[in-house]
Amino acid sequence: MKVISYNINGIRAAIKKGLINWLKEIDVDVICFQEIKANIDQFDDSLFIELGYHCYWYSAEKKGYSGVAILCKKKPIKVTYGIKDSLIDSEARVLNIEYDNLSIFSVYFPSGSSGPIRQQFKMFFLNKFMNFIRNQTKTTVISGDFNICHKSIDIHDPVRNKNSSGFLQVERKWVTNFLKSGFVDSFREKNKLPNNYSWWSYRARSRERNKGWRIDYHMISHILLNKIKEAEILSDIKHSDHCPIYLELSL
């Protein structure tokens, strides 16, 4: 199974930047999008259907904001929108598809960078999501934008950013506890090297200078650890301020 996760920072903008042609080239089994920033009536989803995907779109109540999607070649037996929390689900942050023995999530974790109110909401989401995921019984792949760098190796300047949302000690500890609960950071199982990032600010030529943050992950159930064939960051792909991340599992 080949899986892509990609915060596209607006599906309409990404389509204009050549997203469809790129998807034709890579031909993966599952695509998890975050931050689609559109309702289904605002773009042509037949572009994705024509590529052979079953498409599940989950849009936020606020127009042009947040939203996630999952596109899959094999039709799932169940699709679940949200986590049954009205505050979180109004922002359309969690989407799940299920097969007989596998559950796949596309998740867009909140950012707290705009101030204390959103940081408080981020912590609320983290606690809710941890409790929600503990109740999952199937082997699980959680793909998405976590908006957290786990370790110093995952951020270009850990010293200056130690008090920045996305690298706060309390957030990093949450990721540690999340992994201890039975998950594996698939990329770090395959690549222990620094300077591997998945998001760059639009400011100060950050991407050109590779001053980035690794905040996008494929987190997988520990039982899948020996099934990882490849886990890569596709940093050369540029439809967004994020880049896609790739996971291939031998299932």
| Residues identified as active-site | 145
Q: Name the residue among 113, 185, 189 with its Cα closest to residue 150.
A: 185
**Stated length of the chain:** 251
Residue 210 contacts residue 156 (beta carbons within 8 Å): yes
Q: Name the residue among 12, 2, 4 with its Cα closest to residue 239.
A: 12
The strand ranges marked E within 146-237 are 183-185, 199-200, 212-213, 216-221, 228-233
User: Token pair of 131, please?
Assistant: 């409790």
Cα 168 from Cα 163, distance rounded (Å): 6
Residue 33 contacts residue 8 (beta carbons within 8 Å): yes
Q: Going by DSSP bridges, is the β-strand pair 140-145/103-108 parallel, antiparallel, or unpaired?
A: parallel
Residue labelled with tokens 């706060």: 168
The secondary structure element, H or E, covering residue 180 is: helix 169-180
Cα 202 from Cα 135, distance rounded (Å): 38
